[in-house]
Amino acid sequence: MKLNDAVWGALLLALALAVLWNIQGFPRIPGQNIGPGAFPGLLAIIMIPCALVLVARGLRKDAPKGSFGAWLRSPGHVGNFLLTVGVLAFYIVAADALGFIVTATLILVALFLKLRVKPQIAIPVALVAVFFIHVIFYKMLRVSLPWGVLPILY
């Protein structure tokens, strides 16, 4: 997913201006003419010329136009990408309600099947891997992973 440099320049310019606008409300250290706004302000000011050069580069005639990258033309790979992002989002939403073991197993099976692992391998491997990770983090490192729908087993 390659965007034209001019688009990046515009985005960064907007970011720099947003930072400059945001720091106007920052208080100063009493008795000093410098405060918490000084450093981010300086960064934003340096960012502006960088962004402008990027815009100028992107607008040159010979600049590479935005291109979609080979993988974006392959539905399977776009699916892989979206599924990876999707399972992470799914974990955030579902982990507390369903519990770690159920959520993680679902995630693994979904990814395995999408990556063409045979179901008779995908399901046992997912169960064993989740159990392993759970023992390491829950039992040995004492991370309070949620149990969710399952009763507390160990």
Partner 1 sequence: MDVYLQALQLVFDPYVLMVILLSAVYGLFVGCIPGLTATMATALLVPVTFFMPPVPAVAAIVTATAMAIFSGDIPGALLRIPGTPASAAYTDEAYAMTLKGQAEVALGAGLWFSALGGLFGTLVMIFMAPSLAEIALNFSSFEYFWLVLLGLAGAVFIGSSSILKASISLLLGLLIACIGLENPGGHPRFTFGVNELLSGVNLIPMMVGMFAISEILRYMVNLEPPAKIVNAKIGNVFKGMWALTLEYKWSLLRGNVLGTLIGIQPGSGADMASWMSYAMSKRFSKEPEKFGTGHVEGIIESGAANNSSLAGAWIPALVFGIPGDSITAIAIGVLYIKGLNPGPMIFVNNPQSVYAIFLVFILANLIMLPLGWMTIKLANNVLRVPRNILMPIILVFCIVGSFAINNSLFGVGLILFFGVVAFVLEENGFPTAPAILGVVLGTMLEENFITSMIKSDGDPTVFFTRPIAGGLAFFTILILLWPVGAWLVAKARGRLAQPAARPAE
Which residues in this chain contact partner 1 in the complex, by CB under 8 A?
Answer: 1-3, 8, 12, 15, 19, 22-23, 26-29, 32-36, 38-40, 43-44, 46-47, 50-51, 53-54, 57, 69-71, 74, 77-78, 80-81, 83-85, 87-89, 91-92, 95-96, 100, 104, 107-108, 111-112, 115-117, 121, 125, 129-130, 133, 137, 141-145
Cβ atoms of 8 and 66 closer than 8 Å: no
CA distance 59 to 57: 5
Question: Based on CB atoms, which residue is closest to partner 1, 81 or 149?
Answer: 81
One-letter identity of residue 119:
P
Question: Based on CB atoms, which residue is closest to partner 1, 125 or 147?
Answer: 125
The residue count of the chain comes to 154
- As to burial, measured by CB atoms within 10 angstroms (0-12 exposed, 13-18 middle, 19+ buried), residue 33 is exposed
